[in-house]
Structure 1
Amino acid sequence: MATPTKELKKLGGGYDPREVKTVHDWIDLLKDEGEYREVNVKVDWDCEIGTIARYCMSAKNGVALLFDNIKGHANTFCKKLFTNSVSSYGRFNLALGLPKDASTRELVLTMKEGYKKSLSPKEVSTAPHKQNILKGDDINIEEIPVPKWHLWDGGRFINTFAPVITRDPDVGRYNMGIYRGMNAGPKHVSCLMAPSQGWGDHYSKAQQRQEPMKVAFIYGCNPLLTILAGSAFGRLVSEYDVYGGLVGEPLELVQCETSDLMVPASAEMVIEGTMSWDPKDFKMEGPFAEHCGYYGGGYSLKPTVEVDCITYRDDPIFQGSCESIRPGWPTEDAYITSLSSSALVWNHLEACGVPGVTDVWMNLDGPFFMIYVQIRQSYRHQAKQIASAIWGMSFANWAFKIVMVVEEDIDLRDHGQLEWALCT
């Protein structure tokens, strides 16, 4: 018998984001909107799930998918995989409380203003994912239905859409980001560590102290948590605080079982672990079909998390995403980056005192690497100032390779107009 869906309140033409606290609430909303399908036939975790997810994402209005009959996982503690959660602008509108047909410009403006807000989280004493707790010999991450997403991936990548939680050892500020991680046995996750990113900074500080770093991986979230985790905020910003400001109420956090890290209470499943700075503890990781459409990060020894504990709610939903992109074949990551980068760059330009910015846009086919800015020009070299400001952002050490600045007569979302502006 189908589970009855939760009735969600609407607010100002869209759903109230405060009502969508869990991945179950999000699935109920998507069901009501015709944006969700369950795949009940048996599927193979080895490339078949990735292929289905990829073709569904590339289809016009391709839906979110939940797989509940995965080869080798009929009797494991986790049997379900949810993917394609935010693989359309319409679903982003639903997540942000806008009408599903709102324009991308309206969506960027909503995120732009929301990303300026801040409200500290609050601690709660328990959470649904504390229903089951695995430690010691009971830990086996291979019981989680992690796909091998692409043919030449180095293995089964458990972390493709999981917020990763770490804390700055100097000031205690939390970071929540999405970073790739591969199964490296029943109790280990090997990770691609980018020193320029939030948890990379925390790892470098732990390495300098010669102390291990505590980590938590979060699976099965409401969409805003994952969207914020995939947004490139500066290092002085905690995504926990932005979530509270954006939604209008504090994010509820609960303490981990094996560390003092605080994690979202609404999660389906949490993996708690310890990452060593010592190369003797590293395990092999990579390659992986990355966001740019190529395999990246070759098969080599990389920093590894040893799993200390797994907590999960009854019948948990694992969440992952099929990466890699080419024109016309976007990914969830591309949607997040397209919108969040547009909002964050716009805010950054205003904070730098650059006048006259009227629109900012990053399209799906060049996520991370190309961004467009529309201005009302008022002085010479304004475009040069804009590019210099953008390249000063922390995210720009590997993103925003190309900055294109146009005036108000050019629509940033019209490829023909952009090409005309470039050529003339």
Structure 2
Amino acid sequence: MRRRAPPARLRSIEPGPDARHATERHSCATRAHDRRDQRRLRESMGQPAGRSSSRRRSRRGRRLMPLTDLRLYVEALRGLGEIQEIDAPVSLDLELGAVIRRCIETGAPAPLFNVLSDHPGGFRILGAPGGTSAQPGMELVRVAVALELPPTTGGLAIAEAIVASLDRPAIDPVVVDDAPVFENMLTGDAVDLSALPAPLLHYGDGGRYLNTFGCIVARTPDGTWTNWSIARMMVVDAKRLSGIVAPEQHLGMVAQAWADLGRPMPFALALGVEPSVPFICGMPLPAHVNESGRLGALMGRAIRTVRCRTVELDAPASAEILIEGHLHLDELVEEGPMGEFAGYIPLDTPARRPTYRVCAISHRDNAILPVVVAGEPVEENHTAWGLPSAAQLLHDLRQAGIPATAAWIPLQSALHWLVVTVPRDWRRRSGVGESEALCRRIGQVVFASKAGAVIPKVIVLNDDVDPTDLKELVWAFATRCHPLLGHAVFDDIEAAPLLAYLRRSEKASGHTGKIVYNGLAPDEWGEALPMRASFRHGYPADIVDRVRRRWREYGFT
């Protein structure tokens, strides 16, 4: 099929002498901002202003002090070797997206673009803000630091921290009157989205996507529910955006409540917020639960919000860029396609989707726009959406009486797998007698939840397997799942339309088949499991310890 031509290219500015001088001036200004942010970070951690925090101290696991804006997060990552400053001019037209994709796929530090060759300046872009790292033992360092956990915290521990917060009372946000985001503001006829650096991220995208990691704020007409979410938004023209507004998603529910009154929905789009906010926006909480309060419970402090200037909403006060306006469900424009979380740019033609009409744009001086380049794993859809989803599902399973020791969406599965582990005595703990019945019960809980709507395949294993270890997971799935027996099949069930393999009819109906793979031991074995023939499991503990201690003595490094 012939690939659609990309949108009109932005003019590329060659870095001649004048551009180089502009780059040097911009870099000096950027470094001045960075020095101020470094001082703020040290002060927030109780360190003298003239002393830098050591990389070793950060790695040893001291819990970070509150990172209340994106700039403090950048400085925290810089101290851990997770930021790569780029002062060379980079084009918004595909080049920037390609750099970010290469960083994602190699585990390189998050790129911070200081100079954009085809934009007049005043903005920076942070790529891969929630991506994974190639540093040993620190794969999820950006996620951990964003949630103010020690940098070496692993995936299961992060999920358990989120699960624990769900049983704590909400901590509602604190509303402030002003914020740095109002240092610059455009309203009315002066509004022009081209003033913001919206990139063309993939070759084949239907347009330039301004929102890939921002917080969309919406509130029901009666004021009882304020929803924070993430959804892609493409620039249509100087005053309009468009994107997916699915009716079954919370944003679509709130928008429909306004449409039922014959009115457009007020919205705020907060870009470049404090680093924990995207993780709660990506978390599939139940309807009518305010994400801001749940984030307060997770972080142990109230999140600061600020009153918008043209709509009756409060948005995260940490925003680098704030866009205000109204969402019109009845005004449809062409949007997409776009490279998405499954790892593909769909063959679909552009779809007609609702319009966000913008009435105000505000931004900080030298503002930072976070950018996610969705696609093959592992990127922020798989971390900021996948990891909170796993935590919510683990909480749901335990609430349903299933003795799950872990629920994990493998990062490399692009949200298409969920792995659930249970102890060998799961029969006694659950009251369920057969493994097939347990798998069916797990499927009923998972697929009925908002978090499970996107998950088509569940794998159930005993908890001797670490679901975050891809080698163990592949081995266990290959050797423990009978090809025919014990699986729980769900023939016609709700599904997310962006799943990669769906047929057109399934996308149109929003339904497909799903399955729970039974990787538990045969029922005839009872609670017995064969010994694993591995170094960790196949030898007495004293032998394992002795070999580890003498490893260098044997001549290994």
Band the TM-score falls in, shorter-chain normalisation: over 0.9
**Partner residue of 1:410?**
465
AA of the residue aligned to 2:319: A
Pair 1:306–1:409, CA change in 2 (3 A): same
- Residue 184 to residue 231, structure 1, CA distance change in 2 (3 Å): same
Alignment of 1:37-116 (within 5 A): 37-60=84-107, 62-75=108-121, 78-88=122-132, 89-116=140-167
* Aligned equivalent of 2:12: none
Q: How big is each residue's C-alpha offset from its partner over 1:252-274, in whole Å with a ceiling of 9 and x where there is no partner?
A: 11111111111011111100011
* Conserved? CA contact 2:59–2:80, under 8 Å: no
1:82–1:319 contact (8 Å) kept in structure 2: yes
Structure with bigger RCO (C-alpha 8 Å, 6+ apart): 1
Q: Tell me, in whole angstroms, the C-alpha distance in 2 between the residues paired with 1:208 and 1:31.
A: 48
Give the aligned partner of residue 345 of structure 2.
295
Alignment of 1:241-280 (within 5 A): 241-278=293-330
Letter in 2 for 1:166: A
Q: Which residue of 2 aligns with 1:225?
A: 277
* Secondary structure, aligned partner of 1:51: helix
Structure 1 residue 366 corresponds to structure 2 residue 413? yes
AA of the residue aligned to 1:125: D
CA contact (8 A) 2:179 2:318 kept: yes
Query: Does structure 1 conserve the Cα–Cα contact (< 8 Å) formed by 2:59 and 2:151?
Result: no
Provide the rounded CA distance (Å) in 1 between the counterparts of 2:422 and 2:411. 21
In structure 2, what is the equivalent of residue 345 of structure 1?
393
Larger displacement relative to structure 2 (22-31 or 112-121): 112-121
Q: How many residues align?
A: 414
Distance 2:236 2:295 in 1: 32
Contact 1:131–1:314, Cα closer than 8 Å, also in 2: yes
Q: Give, in angstroms, the shift of residue 104 of structure 1.
A: 2.0
What's the % identity of the aligned pairs? 25
Select the structure of larger CA radius of gyration. Answer: 2
**TM-aligned CA deviation for residue 13 of structure 1:** 5.7
Mapped contact 1:40–1:68 kept (Cα < 8 A): yes
Superposition deviation, residue 159 in structure 1: 1.2
> What's the CA shift for 1:11?
10
Matched residue SS, 2:329:
coil
Deviation at 1:15, TM superposition (A): 5.5
After superposition, residues 306-317 of structure 1 pair within 5 angstroms as: 306-317=357-368
Aligned partners of 1:419 and 1:241: how far apart in 2? Answer: 42
SS of equivalent residue, structure 1 residue 166: strand
Unaligned runs of 5+ in 1: none
Instruction: Give yes or no for contact 2:307–2:314 (8 Å, CA) kept in 1.
Output: yes
8 Å Cα contact 1:410-1:421 kept in structure 2: no
- In the TM superposition, residue 209 of structure 1 has moved relative to its aligned partner by 1.8
Partners of 1:120 and 1:250 within 8 A in 2: yes
Report the AA paired with residue 182 of structure 1: M
Structure 1 residues 15 and 219 mapped into 2: Cα distance closer, same or farther (>3 Å)? farther
> What one-letter code is carried by the residue in structure 2 that aligns with 1:402?
K
The question of 1:30 aligning with 2:81 is answered: no
Stretches of structure 2 that go unaligned for 5 or more consecutive residues are: 1-27, 46-56, 133-139, 484-557
8 Å Cα contact 2:127-2:370 kept in structure 1? yes
Aligned residue number for residue 284 of structure 1: 334
SS at match of 1:307: strand
Q: Return the offset for 1:195.
A: 1.1
CA distance in 2, matches of 1:122, 1:222: 15
8 Å contact from structure 1 (residues 192, 303) kept in 2:
yes
Structure 2 contact 397–403 (Cα < 8 Å) conserved: no
The Cα shift of 1:348 comes to 0.8
Alignment match, 2:262: 210
Distance in 2 (CA, whole Å) between partners of 1:386 and 1:96 is: 29
Tell me the distance in 1 between the aligned counterparts of 2:302 and 2:355. 32
The counterpart of 2:68, out of the listed 13, 17, 21, is 21
Indicate whether 1:390 and 2:446 are aligned: yes
Partners of 2:364 and 2:260 lie apart in 1 by: 37
**In 2, distance between residues paired with 1:167 and 1:12?**
40
Note the 1:133-144 alignment, pairs <5 A. Answer: 133-144=185-196
Report the Cα offset of residue 312 of structure 1.
Answer: 1.3
Calculate the aligned-residue CA RMSD, in Å: 1.9
Distance 1:14 1:163, change over 3 A: farther
